[in-house]
Structure 1
Amino acid sequence: MQHESKRKLLDAAQNVFRTKGYAATTVDDICEAAGVTKGSFFHHFKSKEGLTLDAAAHWSTWTEALFAAAPFHQAADPRERVLGYVDFRAAILDRAVPDFTCLLGTLVQETYATHPAIRAACNKGMSSHIANLTCDIEAAKQRYAPDAPWSAESIGYFIQAVLQGSFIFAKAKDGSEVARENLSHLRRYLEGLFPHPRKSNRKEKP
């Protein structure tokens, strides 16, 4: 069982990093947000980078549970699960900007060249999320577009690229409107990738 003060620090780090970024966040900022002492911080972590690595894993565990429990998983049709995933991401946009942006995307933009361990942790977390999504995409491809030249994995990465880019614009615009429009376009694009078979209106001759 995770120590309560450690969990508070990990939760606080997720929120502060998404609000201020990695470089601008200090250990004091995280301790203040968590409501714990600096001594407690160094009891659990050797450094801010050490905390960040654990925070990335903590984020991945939390988001995996969040998406696993999302209602779109209940759909029997994999096409509806893929579209439902996009709808679920759009519903999350009703929160404040830092609350719907991705911790891993925020971290890797700042640290990919300076903190290789953090970059690797972000890559692991994002790739794992895409792998889970790819399962539904592959099932939808087999049912609705079996001869399509693209791979399910490439669509998974494309979906995440749209999301991460949308988060950047949401920060630039200080609002979710552009991100919401982007997800609407993404949904229409995915609908085109997985077209329902057209039903003929002509009656067959006896």
Structure 2
Amino acid sequence: MGRTSDARERILDSSRRLMRTRGYTALGVAEICADAGVKKGSFYHFFDSKQALTIEAVGEQWAEERGALQAAVTDADGPVDRLRALVARLVGTQRADHGESGAIHGCLYGNLALELSGQEPEVRRRLAEVFDDQVAMIARLIAEAQEAELVGRGTGAQALARSMVAQIEGTVLLARVRNDPALLDEVWPSAERLLGVA
């Protein structure tokens, strides 16, 4: 009974890790099941399809990451320090990957968005929700910083937040292509220039 009760979670954990390192298209249900140590029948007991699994895996990953990001910004003083802490947390995952495996695997959401740009509309819709949530989180911090006159006010917080998310995702992508964590050092200085940090 114990193995059955955690089979779903093991499938989700395996799929999150494998999709991040291997991608979506190249990954089959059989491989996910083998990695999770469950039979293929168990997979279909919990998930109707790989697409359904992916939607849940993305949601679970974001719930964890969102909590970690909120904890990181809670410990920082002032809106600019909170933005810096948020950026450090986002790129820190890539540094940790490189330290553990010697490879930068990129962002699960960015990787899936690139791979599935013309297919799997339900997965793309879920990814859009995650990115919208990230933008909203960053926009709130930017708005606080603008109100305190710590960053420029010429551009709206929402537009700046979208630019920050795009900048982070783009830098992570370049770091992944080159497998060079040093490129991640550019994220916060670029964000400071974008925001016009006083």
TM-score interval, smaller chain: 0.7 to 0.9
Residue in 2 aligned with 1:93?
94
Query: Which residue of 16, 21, 31 corresponds with 1:29?
Result: 31
Cα distance, 1:116 vs structure 2: 0.9
Matched, 1:47 2:55: no
TM-score (norm 1): 0.83
Q: Which amino acid aligns with 1:22?
A: Y
Matching of residue 104 in structure 1 with residue 109 in structure 2: yes
Q: CA separation of 1:92/1:29 partners in 2, compared to 1, >3 Å: closer, same or farther?
A: same
Decide whether the 8 Å contact of 2:33 with 2:40 is kept in 1.
yes
Are 2:190 and 1:189 aligned?
Answer: no
* Cα displacement string for residues 61-96 of structure 1 (whole angstroms, at most 9, x for unaligned residues): 1111111222x3223311211122223334333222
What letter corresponds to residue 159 of structure 2 in structure 1? Answer: S
Distance apart, 1:187 and its partner CA: 4.3
Change (3 A) 1:126 1:88: same
Q: What letter corresponds to residue 64 of structure 1 in structure 2?
A: R
For residues 131-182 of structure 1, give each alpha carbon's deviation from its aligned partner in whole angstroms, at most 9, with x where no partner exists. 112111110011115872201111111111111112211221123222x232
Partner Cα separation in structure 2 for residue 107 and residue 146 of structure 1: 32
Q: Which has the higher helix share?
A: 2
Q: Is 1:139 the equivalent of 2:139?
A: no
| Contact persistence 2:20–2:105 (CA under 8 A) | no
Q: Which residue of 2 aligns with 1:201?
A: none
Amino acid at match of 2:36: A
Q: Distance in 2 between matches of 1:187 and 1:108?
A: 23
Matched, 1:82 2:83: yes
Structure 2 SS opposite 1:22 = coil
Q: Write the distance in 2 (CA, Å) between the matches of 1:35 and 1:105.
A: 27
Q: 2:171 matched to which residue of 1?
A: 166
Please state how far the C-alpha of 1:27 moved relative to its aligned partner.
Answer: 0.6
Structure ID, larger Rg: 1
Q: Which runs of 5+ in 1 are unaligned?
A: 196-206
C-alpha spacing 1:79/1:181, structure 2 compared with 1 (3 Å): closer
TM-superposed deviation, 1:100? 6.1
Match of 2:12 in 1: 10
Which stretch has the larger CA shift, 82-91 or 19-28?
Answer: 82-91
1:10, 1:51 within 8 Å by CA — same for their partners in 2?
A: yes
Q: Provide the identity percentage.
A: 24
- Counterpart contact for 2:151–2:197, Cα < 8 Å: no
How much does 1:107 deviate? 0.8
Which structure 1 residue ranges, 4+ long, deviate > 6 Å from structure 2? none
Q: TM-score, normalised by structure 2?
A: 0.86
Secondary structure of 1:95's counterpart equals: helix
